[in-house]
Structure 1
Amino acid sequence: MKELGKINSLLINRFTANGAYLALQEGGEVLLPKSYLPEEIKEGQEIEVFVYTDSEDRPVAVTTPPVALLDEFAVMEAKEITRFGAFMDWGLPKDLFVPKSEMHKEMQVGEKYLVRVCVDFKTDRLIGVSKYQDFLIEDTRGFEEGQEVEALIFEETDLGYKALIENSFEALLYKNEVFETIQVGDKVKASIKKKRDDGKLDLILGSLGRQKYEEGAEKILTVLKAKKFLPLHDKSSPESIKELLGMSKKHFKQSIGQLYKAKTIRITNKGIELV
């Protein structure tokens, strides 16, 4: 079935007590349950739906898509673990099943994992696959250092946070360079810090270079406008700066240096204040 796992614009063939039957591209019909029917919709009209199979393996359409479509990744929470596999919450009434043979590692209820939506061609059902490395691209020549990207945080390690870029590339945020709270499942704005020889990418939150420091300066100004005074200066401890501003001491010093040169702030032995 061509429509499986995708957003489709399908024609309404007929209505029944259970909902509306929509025409499939290669013949046949799929049920859109009554609870998903918009008001005042009529036969012959098209409607956008997501198609998957219900608990009895019958094709069914819904107007609310899951967190990931066919061939897409998403971070999903494990709701139930059996000896055959795991059932993941992906935003639909029927959970997405990850067979044990397709697990990257043993899963635990309540934990979140990176899962790709795939078709099991033996059964023509949608399944989840957490062996994400099978789908990654190692050729990173299309990226440039300093380039801004959106990254999906999918695993925390002792070294840092693993992230996925553009549904195909693995990257890493180092913990000692993260000065704000992030969690598995978050999507963050980051920049390419380094392109590694193993095909992975090193990231840093926010923007690199001059733009980063300007953002830091803007953050300090915002806090000063609200509090009038900050008990921080270039001799303050890195811990104090991180607690109050969520940034490194190096970033802080470069940012207040810009503000001082612009004659926007006054630096005293007790802290900084607006001019």
Structure 2
Amino acid sequence: MMEDAITGEAVHAAVTGQSRKGIFLEYKGEELLLPAEEVNKPAGDTAEVFIYEDKQGKLTATMNIPTVTKSTYDWVYVVGGIDAGVFVDIGLPKDILVSKDDLPDAKELWPQKGDRLFVTLAHDRMKRLKAMPITEDMIEEERDRAQNEYRGSEVRGNVYGHKDAGTCIITEEGVRGFIHESEASFIPRLGQSVEGRVIAVKEDGTINVSLRDERVVAQGKDADMILEVLHKRGGQMPFTDKSTPEEIQSAFGLSKASFKRALGKLMKEKIINQEPGRTYLIDKEEQ
């Protein structure tokens, strides 16, 4: 293996010959072939090419320069995985590995086929090309700033990292977002596309995002209020899902639909029960 890896960048290589197989090039003392099928324009004394190792490990070149290089980042699709990591398609005949060393410790958080990663290229210890997910430093340098008008809006983004308390995403608009663990019912995978609601815009232009359905959140709050009323009334109340909208509005300040959803949640969780004319706590009368 060469002392200094020359793969992973667009370079101008000297043209040394040509045959039906393609164009022969020389770059930093290395001879390589630009296959005929990779030639997309005439070459003069030099040709601008991207150098990589083919599936057999041989140096080769292409004029179809990918948007991901050692000095650039871009979004790419995950196309598969092995124990050593996951492969991404950067537009070459060969897919590039994202090493397990650059993936979450928990394998269930690894990207799956069809997920998108924001990556750059680097070399592993053997000086082979690998793809690396974006770092927090690069995010800070490149991200856009959210305006206050973002609050309450729906956003879509891809996960680029995990922290102890939650998940980090980049939105389609290029804004950094954070999903606290309390604002999601699951831990999204690295690279997974998620949709959520902006619940806060921070002074630094980052956003906090919730993946929880507003109706589900409201349902939980309404259920807590009903439980509070039940406890204050000794474990029962003269309201049921048959009560009139006016009675429910007067007693709870809720619509009948919201009241019924909250009752349904509590009954499904076997916290309350109903009979004609009253609702009561199960643990007081049946346990």
TM-score (norm 1): 0.50
Q: Please, which runs of 5 or more residues in structure 1 have no aligned partner?
A: 176-182, 186-192, 204-275
Indicate whether 1:170 and 2:176 are aligned. yes
Give the residue type in structure 1 aligned to 2:85.
G
Which aligned pairs between 1:157-196 and structure 2 lie closer than 5 A?
Answer: 162-163=169-170, 170-171=176-177, 194-196=201-203
Structure 1 distance, partners of 2:157, 2:34, is: 34
Aligned counterpart, 1:126: 129
Using a 3 Å threshold, how does the CA distance of structure 1 residues 165 and 201 change in structure 2: closer, same or farther?
A: farther
Shift in Å, 1:166: 11
Give the residue type in structure 2 aligned to 1:5.
G
Identity across the alignment (%): 18
Indicate whether 1:65 and 2:65 are aligned. yes
Using a 3 Å threshold, how does the CA distance of structure 1 residues 89 and 121 change in structure 2: closer, same or farther?
A: closer
Q: Please, which runs of 5 or more residues in structure 2 have no aligned partner?
A: 149-154, 184-190, 194-199, 209-287
Structure 2 distance, partners of 1:152, 1:29, is: 46
Question: In the alignment, is the contact (CA less than 8 A) between 1:78 and 1:86 conserved in 2?
Answer: yes
Question: In the alignment, is the contact (CA less than 8 A) between 1:73 and 1:117 conserved in 2?
Answer: yes
Shift in Å, 1:162: 2.2
Aligned counterpart, 1:75: 75
Structure 1 distance, partners of 2:67, 2:76, is: 8
Give the residue type in structure 2 aligned to 1:170.
R
Aligned counterpart, 1:22: 25
Secondary structure of 2:7's partner?
A: coil
Shift in Å, 1:99: 1.5
Question: In the alignment, is the contact (CA less than 8 A) between 1:12 and 1:43 conserved in 2?
Answer: yes
1:198-233 per-position Cα deviation (integer Å, ceiling 9, x unaligned): x67239xxxxxxxxxxxxxxxxxxxxxxxxxxxxxx
Shift in Å, 1:94: 0.3
Shift in Å, 1:77: 2.3
Aligned counterpart, 1:48: 48
Question: In the alignment, is the contact (CA less than 8 A) between 1:14 and 1:43 conserved in 2?
Answer: no
Using a 3 Å threshold, how does the CA distance of structure 1 residues 35 and 194 change in structure 2: closer, same or farther?
A: same
Question: In the alignment, is the contact (CA less than 8 A) between 1:53 and 1:59 conserved in 2?
Answer: yes
Give the residue type in structure 2 aligned to 1:33.
P
Structure 2 distance, partners of 1:38, 1:75, is: 24
Aligned counterpart, 1:202: 207
Question: In the alignment, is the contact (CA less than 8 A) between 1:10 and 1:22 conserved in 2?
Answer: yes
Q: How many residues align?
A: 181
Using a 3 Å threshold, how does the CA distance of structure 1 residues 161 and 14 change in structure 2: closer, same or farther?
A: same
1:40-59 per-position Cα deviation (integer Å, ceiling 9, x unaligned): x3552x22211111112222
- Which residue of the other structure, out of 4, 8, 21, is the alignment partner of 1:5? 8
Aligned counterpart, 2:37: 35
Shift in Å, 1:121: 4.4
Shift in Å, 1:61: 1.0
